Amino acid sequence: MLPRRIVLSASAVRFLSSSHRIPSSQRFPGDDNLSRLSHKDWLAPNEVLKIFDNVKDPSFLMPAYEHYSRRKDYQPTESLYTLLINKLGQARMFDEIEEIMKSLKLEKRCRLSEEFFYNVMRVYGNLAGRIKRAIEILFDMPEFGCWPSAKSFNFVLNLLVSAKLFDVVHEIFMSAPKLGVEIDACCLNILIKGLCESGDMDAALQLLDEFPKQNSRPNVMTFSPLIRAFCLRGKFEEAFKLMERMEKEGIEPDAITFNILISGLRKKGRVEEGIELLEKMKLKGCEPNPGSYQEVLYGLLDKNRILEANKMMGQMISWGMRPSFASYKKMIQGLCQEEAISEMEWVLRQMVKQGFVPKTGMWWKILQSVVSEKNHPHVNLDHIIDS
């Protein structure tokens, strides 16, 4: 039985209609690799994959595939379809991907796995920005004899949350039984994140009670969006209550969770509490990461506690951490106000060592604060400026 033909674009049809009058070796100008498709030698599937993988001009992909489909040894495989879709996606040829997906519904010679459809949804959702099409692929999977698992289902939910399409999230979630998907902790975490971002904190908290009903257990990723949302709203009492609930349920907060709280406190001017929380992290056996110290450093600089900030920056550097450009900038501004020239020289040295280039405005502030060389003969910024 002859394979069904792919429905080609108008440009591909014109290309093929003229190609039969061109010698085989010249059908794909500039791509000698594809000339192998015109040889009579039998091609194994792995050889075909190599041929298409080496195609440099993506406009040749569809005509070449149509040419291959006419061969007697034509054997469509999931690997080949995936390769074609990925290369077309990278070239942003999404209409051609549509042609392949249409042909797959007609040509049922190849059994496709969930991984194939997951990849197609990834291409549509992440590369093409066609979230609606990604949803359609999810619901089309059963027609191909392939039912989605929580992995594919959650990928689509996450796409919707990232795009802030919160109304659609609930609609898709309610379709889980229809698709035969069992709700897991990851799915509930995505929903909680979406509800937090949409501002529906009551519904997000209520979802915490759904975990045991779904034979799942919440984790750090469950609580982090809730704590962040309460911090953004300045509701730190609720945020700390969630931390206590985590500990009661045997869920150890990680550095990211602590950082969310430290950052939230800092943005509300509660720097001292952030410093105390940093120390509490260590007592609980949670090792602070560079982000933890960076948030405390920002807080000290916000409060113009320059000497303490300078000490913190020195510790960070000695521990192999890299303070941000913004913190260097704030530090220089503070030292300029204090006319702490020696400390400023040290900060500038560290800044340049780490590859940061002071901008013109920063140099003007430095020069304005530096008094005459007569008063500060021990300070020499020339070598730093020259660098």
279: exposed, middle or buried (Cβ count in 10 Å: 0-12, 13-18, 19+):
exposed
pLDDT digits (tens, 9 = 90+) for 90-106: 999 999 999 999 989 88
Residue 106 falls inside a structural domain: yes
Domain boundary at 75, 110, 145, which? 110
For the chain, the average pLDDT equals 87
Q: Report percent pLDDT > 70 for the chain.
A: 87
Q: Report percent pLDDT > 90 for the chain.
A: 69
Domain boundary at 110, 129, 164, which? 110
**What is the number of structural domains in the chain?**
2
pLDDT higher than 90, residue 379: no
pLDDT digits (tens, 9 = 90+) for 306-328: 999 999 999 999 999 999 999 99
pLDDT digits (tens, 9 = 90+) for 291-307: 999 999 999 999 999 99
Residue with the larger pLDDT of the pair 358 and 89: 89
- Long-range CB pairs of 207-213 (<8 Å, 24+ gap) are 211/185
pLDDT higher than 60, residue 375: no
Residue 96 falls inside a structural domain: yes
Angle at 276 between CA 270 and CA 280, to 5 degrees: 140
Handedness of CA 97, 75, 31, 126 (dihedral sign): positive
pLDDT band at 382 (very low <50, low <70, confident <90, very high): very low
The residue range of the domain holding 31 is 1-110
Q: What is the DSSP letter of 32?
A: G
Closest by alpha carbon to 220, among 256, 270, 264? 256
Residue 40 falls inside a structural domain: yes
Report residue 30: phi and psi, to 5°: 80, 0
Residue 102 falls inside a structural domain: yes
Q: How far apart are CA 362 and CA 368, in angstroms?
A: 10
pLDDT higher than 60, residue 383: no
Domain boundary at 87, 110, 133, which? 110
Q: What is the pLDDT of residue 5?
A: 46
Q: How far apart are CA 197 and CA 194, in angstroms?
A: 5
Closest by alpha carbon to 122, among 95, 154, 167? 154
Residue 34 falls inside a structural domain: yes
- Long-range CB pairs of 119-125 (<8 Å, 24+ gap) are 119/82, 119/85, 119/86, 120/85, 121/152, 121/155, 121/156, 121/159, 122/155, 123/85, 123/86, 123/89, 123/97, 124/94, 124/97, 125/155, 125/156, 125/159
Residue 380 falls inside a structural domain: yes
Give the tokens for residue 51: 């041929």
Residue 361 falls inside a structural domain: yes
Residue 11 falls inside a structural domain: yes
Report residue 182: phi and psi, to 5°: -90, 125
